[in-house]
Structure formats: structure tokens, C-alpha cells
Amino acid sequence: MHLFSAMFLLVMLADMPSEALYPSPEEGWQIYSSAQDADGKCICTVVAPAQNMCNRDPRSRQLRQLMEKVQNISQSMEVLDLRTYRDLQYVRNTESLMKVVDGKLKVASENPRSLNPKGFQELKDKVNQLLPLLPVLEQYKTDAKMILRLREEVRNLSLVLMAIQEEMGAYDYEELRQRVLLLETRLHSCMQKLGCGKLTGVSNPITVRASGSRFGSWMTDTMIPSSDNRVWSMDGYFKGRRVLEYRTMSDFMKGQNFVQHLLPHPWAGTGHVVYNGSLYYNKYQSNIIIKYHFRSRSVLVQRSLSGAGYNNTFPYSWGGSSDIDLMADENGLWAVYTTIPNAGNIVISRLEPMSLEVLQTWDTGFPKRSAGESFMICGTLYVTNSHLAGAKIYFAYYTNTSSYEYTDIPFHNQYSHISMMDYNPRERVLYTWNNGHQVLYNVTLFQVIKTSGD
């Protein structure tokens, strides 16, 4: 077979256990089948190391896994702290009521005859007002068990750290950390060179934060390449104008170090996207798309999306003025919507980011009201069949061939009500807003890469 002009079918299996993929950490890329096409070109199917496993140093791999465990524990502690603070505020607010009930009970116990029917009814009413404390106390019991579990995990992590320290001997941790960072940089560069691929799987959800109302959107810049680490959050779907901008993902998780943008025009829906430092969103009660530049805090351009329905004419299944959904992928900026001439079926338009001019349009034939959400990956629109529990990715439309197919890609809808789902091509993850929770999903792509060599 010719080694040059080879076609490699690359499956990114980042969510599978490393032991199932790699007999030893030195193997790296593993070819597990090959064939020859009609033109005599070599076709090989290979498995690439998962993103966190592209490291030939087993100690660095252990440290990376350890860092992930610490991060997971930190997130659990943050959620626990937030819930405990909320419940404690509730208990404090009912403290005066408990004192009143306690006083009345003391009087009644010392002098039972003083408790007349009216006084008894008043005491009963006060006690009924305290009944909501019961689920709070039950939650405290659950949280106490969680604290015990987290304490056990911390103890296990300490044992792992001691084992790594003994194994490393004279190795400098800082040196190993720098090696990990270097490998991650090389991996990121490698990923940017990978071609586009077909979605074959979605990971388990990763809850980043619980904030805001039931509906909303959050995002990072989708432009490739970009070093912008800011995170934006837009709570609600109806007539909102306030956009919160966080400096980093860590700040977003903690709810700190943010600035506020007050948009000159309110938004509709949750189908917003940030692309190359600007926010693209649908203007309230119109089919106008607005491009708002964050640094200058000004509208650069606005344009009507001709014929597009708005104001809950053709929303997703969950409603929420989700008529126009803006998104970005490896191929640029897109609008997903529908029109009356298209009989309510999903229409895809590729937009010119500077002018918002429509460059090309496709009619998918899929009814938009039957879709829970949708997102673009590599020029392909993927549509979910519901926004509720049990949802799956059900339909795919390929703009490069103007064809479609029905799919069956399940994913765990943990909080049972998704009102926003968008792909970020920089990070190759799905951002979702799920019932007041900000959630990420990693994706598995089946990719074809053309290479050449001697």
C-alpha cells in the first residue's frame, strides 16, 4: 500500500476508559484495521489517545487524573456550600417563629388551662408554618452523608498523593506540571488541525454551575482560533437586556469578577452566540438579528432575516420565543429558523459575520415544533427530538450534500428541561442551559484525516 495520500479514519473516544484503549501508555496511536480502496489508497482505522491521555509519562497522567478528582470534589463542595447557605437563611428567617411557638408551648405546659380553643388554633397554625422546615432538615441529613463521602474521597486522594510522591522520588513536581502543560498545548494544536467529523456520541453531563431561572443561555467565544477566555450569561428568554461577562470559566463557576452589559435592544429566545468578540442575538418581537460588540459596547450592524418567523410563530417544542437560533461551528456563523413558505420546517442559513448577509440557505424538511433544540457541528445540523427527559439526537442534516438522515444518539438530560444547546468548535463541547443549571457535554466525532508522507 502507498504510505502517501493515506486516508485515516479517526475515532475520538475521549469518554472510554483508557485501559480499554491502550495496553500500555507507550503505544500512542493504535491501528486496529486496514484496507485498500479502489484507487489503491491505504485506508486505516485508528484509535487516538483520549485528550487527557496523550501523555507518555504515567506519573503525569496520574497527576492529571488527580487534578480532575480535586476539581470534581471542589465543584461538589461549592454546590453543597450554596445549598447550605440557602437553607441556613431559611432557618434564620423562621427563627422568630420558632421562638413564638416555643414560648406558647412553655406557657401551655406550665398552665394547660390557659390554652383555650382560639389559642390552640393559633398554636396549630404556627406549627403548620414550620412544616416546610422538615424537607430542609432531610436535606441536611443527605448533605451530612455527602460530607462523609467527600471526606473519604479526600483521604483516598491523600493516599494517592503519598504513593505518587514515593514513586517520583527525585522528580520535581513543577517540572512534571510543565511537561503536562506542554503536552496539552501540543494536543490542542493537534486538535485544531483535525478535520471535521460526524457526531457519534455525547458524554455524560458535566454540571458547571446552578444559577439563574429555568430558561437562559451561556457561552464562550466560538471563533477559531481565539485566546478569549471570557464567559457570558444571559438569564431568561423574554425581553432581557442584561448580559453578565465573567473573566474566566473559574470566575463564572464562583459567580465573581464579572461586568454587566446592558443591551440597547431586548432579546428574544435563547439562541444567542458569541463570535469573534461580538454577541449575535434576535431582537425582541422581530426577525432582526443584532451584532453587539462587547469591547466598544455598541451595535455594529443589524439586519432582518427575511421571512423568518418570530414571537413564538415557529419555536422549538419548549416555546420561549425560540424562533431564531443563532450558532457557530468550524464553518462559520449560522441561523436556524423557519418561514411560512417552508411550512414550519427548519431552515438553515449561513451568514456573513460582518454584514449578516445570508450566503446560502437549506430547507431541511424537519418540522421545527417537533425539535427540542439543535446545534451545528462541521456544517451538519443535529436536532433533538425533545427538550425533556429521555431526549436524544434524532435527526441530522448535512449542508455539504443537502441530504439528511435519522439518527439515534442518546444523551442524559439530567435536569429534564433544556432551553439552550450549542456547540463550541474551539473546545469541541456542547453548552446547555438545563432548568437553571449550566451544563457541558463532550462529544465523540468520527473524523476523516488526509495525511501525506514518505
Phi, psi of 89 (to 5 degrees): -60, -40
Residue 362: how many other CB atoms lie within 10 Å: 16
Q: Round to whole Å and give the CA distance between 300 and 291.
A: 6
pLDDT of residue 26: 35
pLDDT of residue 420: 96
Q: Round to whole Å and give the CA distance between 387 and 214.
A: 13
Give the pairing of strands 403-410 and 418-424.
Answer: unpaired
pLDDT of residue 49: 42
Residue 453: how many other CB atoms lie within 10 Å: 7
Contact yes or no for 417/214 (Cβ under 8 A): yes
Contact yes or no for 235/254 (Cβ under 8 A): no
Q: Tell me, what DSSP letter sits at residue 169? A: T
DSSP 300-335: EEEEE-TTB--SSSS-BTTBTT-S-EEEEETTEEEE
Q: Round to whole Å and give the CA distance between 355 and 291.
A: 9
Contact yes or no for 207/439 (Cβ under 8 A): yes
Phi, psi of 169 (to 5 degrees): 60, -115
pLDDT of residue 84: 67
Using alpha carbons only, give the angle 344, 345, 347 rounded to the nearest 5 degrees.
115
Contact yes or no for 282/323 (Cβ under 8 A): yes
Quick one: cell of 345? Answer: 420546517
Q: Round to whole Å and give the CA distance between 113 and 90.
A: 34
- Describe the chain by its helix, strand, coil percentages, rounded to 5: 30, 40, 30
Phi, psi of 58 (to 5 degrees): -60, -30
Give the pairing of strands 197-202 and 216-220.
Answer: unpaired
80 burial via Cβ count (<10 Å: 0-12, 13-18, 19+): middle
Quick one: cell of 12? Answer: 475520538
Q: Round to whole Å and give the CA distance between 132 and 304.
A: 50
pLDDT of residue 234: 98
Quick one: cell of 94? Answer: 423562621
Q: Round to whole Å and give the CA distance between 64 and 221.
A: 26
Q: Round to whole Å and give the CA distance between 350 and 370.
A: 22
- What type of residue sits at position 241? R
Q: Round to whole Å and give the CA distance between 250 and 72.
A: 13
pTM for the model stands at 0.62
CATH architecture of 197-446: 6 Propeller (2.120)
Q: For every one of its 454 residues, what pLDDT tens digit does the chain have, with 9 covering 90 and above?
A: 333 233 333 333 333 333 333 333 333 333 334 444 455 554 444 444 444 444 445 556 666 677 677 767 766 666 666 666 666 666 666 666 677 776 777 777 777 766 677 767 777 776 777 667 667 667 666 766 777 777 677 777 777 777 766 666 545 666 766 777 777 666 656 555 556 789 999 999 999 999 999 999 999 999 877 778 899 999 999 899 999 999 999 999 999 999 999 999 999 999 999 999 999 999 999 999 999 999 999 999 999 999 999 999 999 999 999 999 999 999 999 999 999 999 999 999 999 999 999 999 999 999 999 999 999 999 999 999 998 888 899 999 999 999 999 999 999 999 999 999 999 998 889 999 999 999 999 998 886 554 444 4
How far is C-alpha 149 from the chain's CA centre? Answer: 26
3-state secondary structure of 388: coil
Q: Round to whole Å and give the CA distance between 190 and 210.
A: 33
3-state secondary structure of 210: strand
How far is C-alpha 221 from the chain's CA centre? Answer: 13
DSSP 215-276: SEEEEE---SS-----EEEEE-SEEEEEEEEESSHHHHHHT-SEEEEEEEEEEESS--EEET
Tell me the domain boundaries of the chain. 59-169, 197-446
Question: Whose CA is closest to 386, among 370, 406, 375?
Answer: 370
Question: Whose CA is closest to 267, among 300, 311, 298?
Answer: 311
pLDDT of residue 402: 97
